[in-house]
Chains A and B, each alone.
Chain A
């Protein structure tokens, strides 16, 4: 059996929406990931500290209350500062205030350094599969470097 895939999970900023977080926690655990769930109201520093401590391969960021753009900006840069250059960053939820075309939202968050951006309707099984693929790819790239 290969090494378990560790991911850090949490709702960013001052957001206390805990229902979806619970769903994701149970879902990814059932899918065989080792989930480090930080719960709600998580700061960028807390995600990074948890990722370093657990050797996580991905950080999964949720935001539902509309302030996602402010809360999520700068996380990639902080990761790089802390030596987590190639960590996988996912973000999903209701990321901006009001209804906006999701492709615009996706573009905006990809520019911020997030590898993948998910709408609330995105099927969880598909997300888990993408996550497995991305982690395998990252492991391969790291091996190639060595």
Chain B
């Protein structure tokens, strides 16, 4: 196990620069922040609450939410906490902050004040500073996490962790490839190394901070092997910097067998690679995202998709489920619709809690296939990196042996095309340069041929398009009309 930790000297050098990129950076005093975090009770610490749920076999529910102004943001979160019965809360960050455009965010705050409504699509935590963040976290009874989509989240992490948030979503791949066009993979990996080292520094001072790589990636027919490999890589990179509480995620595909297999395999395979890299001392939990693709506009139909996601997540044994709202097809929900999404999910989760699902049939076959796919992709990464995962990851994206479907980044090969088989499992139609063995691909092809025969058409790109829009039109599989 090599020493990959960012040195204190290097970290401090970057910190001095980062804290100067916006005036609120001056509010960060790490020693004071550690003392502040120490005073936060255990039942408001994200890492502790999640680990307790994991040990008790309970699935926690968390919405997404964020608005421009502190007062409105608190009102929204308190509503989701009391009326919505949320177990965990979010603070979703606005699009300007995600691009480090703090001046635009400041303008958005001004305009929101004048308009008496949020003109930003999230909470600009950097602009509100450490003080503003503390007002938010102190107003709530449950743990709060920062959720965003920021390739360079160094200042956001400094301010929000000093501000009392106890969990931070994202990672060097999962918050770059699906969210940015021109950020080199090495650059975002380096910037996230800083975030993970900051979390590691809190851990060394006795403060548990949860870290969560973003599992669903582009949220569009992502084959589990691809998102799992990204999660495993980001997990290793985080552990290398001293992160202890790690939550790996997966976005619902829609076929129950594939979803249960995927989440169970994620835990097993991640533990295997973490141990292989020499890590023993960590707490691994999982998060299941309700359907991330297009939703039906009809609210009753949307509730059905939400319920189905909850059922799959609980059956798969997720420690946490991120819930959607009946307004998903229309954009940002009202607080009432947001609470309805959580309540609907809670009812399903409560009904299923403690039920044992017997999984027979093809469960083992699919489980073994997924493990094989992950090992194909991981082997190639280790090979390209001469044994080093970070170097191998950058090389794998360059060579396209790791490839995220439908991603905007120019540093992603973008050649792989997924589609559903005749039972709705997500398979790979065109592998591009993805490092999957011929044997694996033959299986995928055979399953897709099965569907093509059933639908009396050839396996074609039209099926990919049909699948992308299928759920919003009321079906899992994009059948011919």
Contacts and interface: CB of A to CB of B under 8 A. Distances in A.
Contacts of B414: 22
Interface stretch (A23-31, A76-84, A138-146): A23-31
Interface residues of B, number: 16
A19 B468 CA distance: 9
Interface stretch (B12-20, B233-241, B404-412): B404-412
B465 interface: yes
B468 A23 contact: yes
A40 interface: yes
A39 B417 contact: no
A27 B408 contact: no
Interface in B222-244: none
A18 B406 contact: yes
Nearest to B149: A16
Contacts of B180: 16
Contacts of B410: 39
Given A16-B181, A19-B220, 15 more contacts: A16-B179, A16-B180, A18-B406, A18-B408, A19-B406, A22-B414, A23-B461, A23-B465, A26-B417, A26-B461, A27-B461, A39-B408, A40-B181, A40-B408, A41-B408
Closest 10 CB pairs of A and B: A18-B408, A40-B408, A19-B406, A16-B408, A41-B181, A22-B406, A19-B220, A26-B461, A23-B465, A18-B406
28 contacts: A16-B179, A16-B180, A16-B181, A16-B408, A18-B218, A18-B407, A18-B408, A19-B218, A19-B220, A19-B406, A19-B468, A21-B408, A22-B405, A22-B414, A23-B461, A23-B464, A23-B465, A26-B417, A26-B461, A26-B464, A27-B465, A30-B461, A39-B181, A39-B408, A39-B410, A40-B408, A41-B181, A41-B408
Contacts of A30: 461
Interface string A27-46: 10010000000011100000
A30 B462 CA distance: 11
Contacts, number: 34
Interface of B: 179-181, 218, 220, 405-408, 410, 414, 417, 461, 464-465, 468
Secondary structure at the B interface, as helix, strand, loop or mixed, is: loop
Interface residues of A, number: 13
Contacts of B406: 18-19, 22
Nearest to B99: A14
Contacts of A39: 181, 408, 410
Nearest to A17: B408
Nearest to A26: B461
Contacts of A16: 179-181, 408
Interface in A79-136: 124
Contacts of A19: 218, 220, 406, 468
